[in-house]
Amino acid sequence: MDFLMSGLAACGACLFTNPLEVVKTRMQLQGELQAPGSYQRHYRNVFHAFITIGKVDGLAALQKGLAPALLYQFLMNGIRLGTYGLIEAGGYLRTAEGGLSPARSAAAGALAGVMGAYLGSPIYMVKTHLQAQAASEIAVGHQYKHQIFPPQSWKVALAAAMVSGIAVVLAMTPFDVASTRLYNQPTDAQGKGLMYRGILDALLQTARTEGIFGMYKGIGASYFRLGPHTILSLFFWDQLRTLYYTYTK
């Protein structure tokens, strides 16, 4: 659970910070190995870069490389924070007297960080290539022409559903947990719930008793259900609509 929660938390943040990552990548590649003043500055500062990218490449370009960025954040932070959490839970950070050892904590943090960075590095490279892609008039650095999925591929829809599903499950899982418990609680002879008075009471009781993680129980199952469910719903809807119009003409 430590790995999952750490990875999903980082993905949630990445959804909002990826445009800044795109701007950062392009500004760092601008003027690569060229003397100051000898090249055209397409991006004068952060705000100018946002405006320029949005105007020339389109607003969607500010989220370039989002798929590998999310995968990178999930993998790197899941491994980094999850590994450190497991080491801490195992009691390896404490001395024989029970006190916290700064040296062990630093070593564990370094080990977890190296593991996360090493395993996430190939994905970070793909992310950088995609974020650097730009229209010729504002292109900086080497322009790789990667294409993750062919146009009109079902994989595009599936990937989009899985990416958007991160934000959905982070926002909705606490309410899903509360509704599941409300439906499943025992009732008296009049059908009144014996454990919760309503959804707010269910949320408050869960948070007080089980902590914040208790409100996110089943988040992994919710996430991996949501993406396929969305794309399959759209697929069957499209097929049924096609059959309907075919046989009713």
CB 31 within 8 A of CB 143: no
Q: Residues 159-218: pLDDT tens digits? A: 666 666 777 788 888 898 998 889 888 888 888 888 998 889 999 999 999 888 888 888
- Is the model's pLDDT at 72 over the cut of 90? no
Q: Residues 97-134: pLDDT tens digits? A: 878 888 888 888 888 888 888 888 888 888 899 899 99
pTM of the model: 0.59
For the chain, give me the number of helices (H) and strands (E)?
Answer: 7, 0
Predicted local distance difference test score (pLDDT) of residue 22: 93
* Neighbour count for residue 159 (Cβ, 10 Å): 18
- 36: DSSP letter: T
Domains of the chain: 2-138 (1.50.40.10), 154-248 (no CATH)
Q: Give percent of the chain with pLDDT exceeding 70.
A: 88
- Is the model's pLDDT at 239 over the cut of 80? no
What band does 50 get if pLDDT is binned at 50, 70 and 90? very high
pLDDT averaged over every residue in the chain: 83
Predicted local distance difference test score (pLDDT) of residue 70: 86
* Neighbour count for residue 50 (Cβ, 10 Å): 17
Predicted local distance difference test score (pLDDT) of residue 224: 76
